[in-house]
A and B are shown apart, each in its own frame.
Chain A
C-alpha cells in the first residue's frame, strides 16, 4: 500500500520539469517518458531479434543462395513440406520431445528434493548450495566431453562399473553406437546440469512460504507428508509452473550435448535433435532455406507449448 501513496507524491515533485510539460495531456507525457527508457532495449530487440526473424522467414521460402541472394529461387512452402515429410526431421522431433519429457520432470523432482533438503537447518548448508550449483556454471562443452568419455564403448567408466564392479553385463556396451542408448548420457547430462538451478529457484519459492502455515498445521496434527501435500506444494505451484515453462523451452532447444555426442545424428541420422538437424542443414549442407524452415517449425511449436503453459501459470492458487 505504501507504494500507492508514494507514486503521486513523486509525480508531484517532477511536475514542471518534464519535456512535454504544458503542451500535452498526462497519458501522452507518461507514454513518452516510458518510451525514452524503453527505446534502447527495443532498438536492440528490433535489430538483433525481430529483424533477423523476418529475414529468416523470407529465407525459408527460398532455395537460398548465401553468396548472391538475388539468385535465390522462390519455392513457396516447399521447405516446410519437405521437413514435415522428412523421416529424419520427424525422428528429430520425437528425440527432442522425449528429451524434454525425461529431463524436465527429472530436473524438477530432483531439484525439489535438493531444495527441501537445503531448506532444513543442516550443517554446511552453504557448502551444499554451492556444490549443487556447480554443474550449472560449468561449460556445456566440457561436461559433454566428460560424459562422452564416461560412456566410451570400450572400457569407459560406466562399462567398467557395470561389468567389472557390478557384473551386470558380460561384454562392453557400445553406448554411443546405439540410436537409443546414446540418449542415456545425453538425458543424464541434461538432468545433472539443471538440478542445481532448479533447486535454487525452488528454494527461493520455499522460503517465501510463511512458516506459520506449517506450524499451525502441525499443531492441528498434520503429518510432514500432508503438510507438504496440502501446504507446500500448492503454494509452490507458481514456482513450479515457472520452472516448467523455462525448462520445457530449454529442453526443446537442447543442442550442444547432442551435437557433440552424436556428431550430427550418428548413427544413421537417428539421433538428431531439431536444432542439430537445423545446424547441419544450414552449415554442413548449406541448405539455408531448409534450415530456416526447420527453425520456424520449432519456433511455432515452442510458442504454442509456452502459450498453454502460461495459461497454467495465470491460474490462481487456492488453499
Chain B
C-alpha cells in the first residue's frame, strides 16, 4: 500500500469508527514481499488479524488452508454486495463454490507508449492489433540503444496482457486440465510472437533478468512501449515528473478483441477471528460507495461497477475500466504460484532457444496437469 493510500485509508477508518461506535480499527501495513510470511506466522501462532487485504492470487491458497471465513452465508447482504461489483474481480474470491473474500480494488495492465519516440519515428499512434505492435516495436528498435517493447520479466503477469489478448489460456474454465490450453494454438502463437520479437531485437532482453526495469526504461526512452498498471501515474509523478504518460488498450488479437490480466486485492476475514461481527461490518464498509470513492482519489480503482464512468474519478481510469471489461483472472487455484513458475520457465527456455514454443508449453502443460492432480 502506497503512502497516499495509507493516508486515505485513515479517512475510511475514521468514517467507519464514527458510524460504528465502540468498534476501533487498528491498521498495520506490510511490504508486499514480507506480508505472506508474516501472515502465516501469525496464523500459525493463533494471532491472525481479524481482516486483511490480500493479493487476489493468494485467496485460494489461504482458503484451502482453512484460514479464511466463508463470506456467503455469514456476511449480511452478501448477495447484494456481490451483485454490485465487477464479476472478474469477484471471481478471484471463489474457492470450491464459496466466496472467501470481497474484491476491494482492482486493476489491470494496459499499453504505455512513449509519444516522443513515436513522433520522432513518424509513427502516428499506439498499435491497435498485435501485428501492428510487432511492426511498430521493430520500427522503434535500434540496437542496444532503444527497444520497441519491453516486459518486466518472464513471470506470468508480464506477458499476460499479450497472451490473453491473443486468445491464450492457461487451463480450461473448470480448472481441470492445461492440455490444449497452455499448449493450445493461441497460447503457442503468443509465445512465438514474443520469441520472434526477442530474436529480432525488438523486445528488450531485460525480461530474461537483470536489465533496466521497464518503468525507468520507458520514461528514459529506452523502451518505446511497455505494459503496466494504473499505479504508474503516481510512480512517474515521483520519479519522472515531466514524463508524459500515455495509456492505450492492449492491442487486439486475431479475433479482433482486446484482453489483459486482472490484478488487485481482496478483503478477507480470518476464520479464527473473535470479532466476527465487527470484521464483517468493516468488510462491508470497505465495499461502500463512499469508501471506494475515497480510495479512488489516490489511484485505487473501485470494484463497484456502478462507479464506472463516474465523472468524479480520475480521467485516466477510463482506459483501465474499459480494459477491465475483457481482462481475465489468473487461475484460481492454491498451487497457482507453481503454475506461474511453469509458464515462466517455459518462456525462459523459449527465449534461450532451448525449446520451441510448442515443446516448451507442452512441458508446462504436463507440469500444470501434475499440480492440478494433487
Question: Chain B residue with minimal CB distance to A172?
Answer: B144
Contacts of B40 in A (CB 8 A): 66, 283, 286
A66 to B65, CA, bound (A): 7
A177/B65 contact (C-beta < 8 A), A67-B43, A269-B345 known:
no
A163 to B212, CA, bound (A): 17
A312 to B52, CA, bound (A): 53
Contacts of B43 in A (CB 8 A): 66-67
Q: How far is the CB of A178 from chain B (nearest CB, A)?
A: 8
Name 30 A/B residue pairs within 8 A (Cβ), A-sorted. Answer: A67-B66, A68-B66, A151-B210, A152-B211, A152-B212, A153-B205, A153-B209, A153-B210, A153-B211, A154-B205, A154-B211, A154-B212, A155-B212, A171-B144, A172-B144, A174-B205, A174-B211, A176-B209, A176-B210, A177-B205, A182-B209, A263-B209, A267-B154, A267-B348, A268-B348, A284-B36, A284-B337, A285-B337, A286-B40, A286-B61
Contacts of B144 in A (CB 8 A): 154, 171-172
User: Contact between A177 and B338 (Cβ–Cβ < 8 Å)?
Assistant: no
Contacts of B205 in A (CB 8 A): 153-154, 174, 177
> Which residues of B from 191 to 246 have beta carbons under 8 Å from A?
204-206, 208-212, 222
A214 to B123, CA, bound (A): 78
Contacts of A68 in B (CB 8 A): 66
> Which residues of A from 263 to 316 have beta carbons under 8 Å from B?
263, 266-269, 283-286
Q: Is A183's beta carbon under 8 Å from chain B? A: no
- B18-53 toward A: CB 8 Å interface, digit per residue (1/0)? 000000000000000000110010011000000000
Contacts of A151 in B (CB 8 A): 210
Contacts of B44 in A (CB 8 A): 66-67
Q: How far is the CB of B135 from chain A (nearest CB, A)?
A: 24
User: Contact between A177 and B66 (Cβ–Cβ < 8 Å)?
Assistant: no
Most buried by B among A68, A148, A154, A174: A154
> Which residues of A from 102 to 158 have beta carbons under 8 Å from B?
148, 151-155
Question: Chain A residue with minimal CB distance to B271?
Answer: A67
Q: Is A56's beta carbon under 8 Å from chain B? A: no
User: Contact between A267 and B337 (Cβ–Cβ < 8 Å)?
Assistant: no
A154 to B154, CA, bound (A): 17
User: Contact between A283 and B36 (Cβ–Cβ < 8 Å)?
Assistant: yes
A65 to B211, CA, bound (A): 39
A286 to B44, CA, bound (A): 12
Question: Chain A residue with minimal CB distance to B64?
Answer: A286
Most buried by A among B209, B212, B271, B341: B209
**Interface size (B, Cβ < 8 Å)?**
28
Most buried by B among A67, A155, A266: A67
Question: Chain A residue with minimal CB distance to B43?
Answer: A67
User: Contact between A283 and B37 (Cβ–Cβ < 8 Å)?
Assistant: yes
Q: How far is the CB of A223 from chain B (nearest CB, A)?
A: 48
A175 to B338, CA, bound (A): 25
Q: How far is the CB of B127 from chain A (nearest CB, A)?
A: 24
Contacts of A269 in B (CB 8 A): 341, 345
Q: Is B285's beta carbon under 8 Å from chain A? A: no
A71 to B44, CA, bound (A): 13
List the 5 closest pairs (A to B, CB-CB), nearest first: A176-B210, A177-B208, A177-B209, A283-B37, A153-B210
A153/B65 contact (C-beta < 8 A), A172-B144, A267-B348, A268-B349 known:
no
Q: How far is the CB of B338 from chain A (nearest CB, A)?
A: 6
A67 to B270, CA, bound (A): 11
A175/B65 contact (C-beta < 8 A), A66-B40, A154-B144 known:
no
The residues of B with any CB-CB pair to A shorter than 8 Å are 36-37, 40, 43-44, 61, 65-67, 144, 154, 204-206, 208-212, 222, 271, 337-338, 341, 345, 348-349, 352
User: Contact between A174 and B208 (Cβ–Cβ < 8 Å)?
Assistant: yes
Known A152-B210, A154-B144, A286-B65; further 15 A-B contacts with Cβ < 8 A: A68-B66, A152-B211, A152-B212, A153-B206, A153-B211, A154-B204, A154-B205, A154-B206, A174-B211, A176-B209, A177-B209, A177-B210, A177-B211, A267-B154, A267-B348
A67 to B209, CA, bound (A): 35
Q: How far is the CB of A42 from chain B (nearest CB, A)?
A: 24
Question: Chain B residue with minimal CB distance to A262?
Answer: B209
Q: How far is the CB of B199 from chain A (nearest CB, A)?
A: 15
A171 to B345, CA, bound (A): 25
Contacts of A263 in B (CB 8 A): 209
Contacts of B212 in A (CB 8 A): 152, 154-155
Question: Chain A residue with minimal CB distance to B40?
Answer: A66
Contacts of B66 in A (CB 8 A): 65, 67-68, 71
Contacts of A283 in B (CB 8 A): 36-37, 40
Question: Chain A residue with minimal CB distance to B58?
Answer: A286
Most buried by A among B43, B204, B205, B349: B205
Contacts of B67 in A (CB 8 A): 67
Question: Chain B residue with minimal CB distance to A271?
Answer: B209
Q: How far is the CB of B368 from chain A (nearest CB, A)?
A: 15
Contacts of A284 in B (CB 8 A): 36, 337
Question: Chain B residue with minimal CB distance to A171?
Answer: B144
Contacts of A152 in B (CB 8 A): 210-212
A216 to B334, CA, bound (A): 73
A175 to B209, CA, bound (A): 8
Q: How far is the CB of B226 from chain A (nearest CB, A)?
A: 14
Contacts of A175 in B (CB 8 A): 210
Q: How far is the CB of B310 from chain A (nearest CB, A)?
A: 38
Contacts of A155 in B (CB 8 A): 212
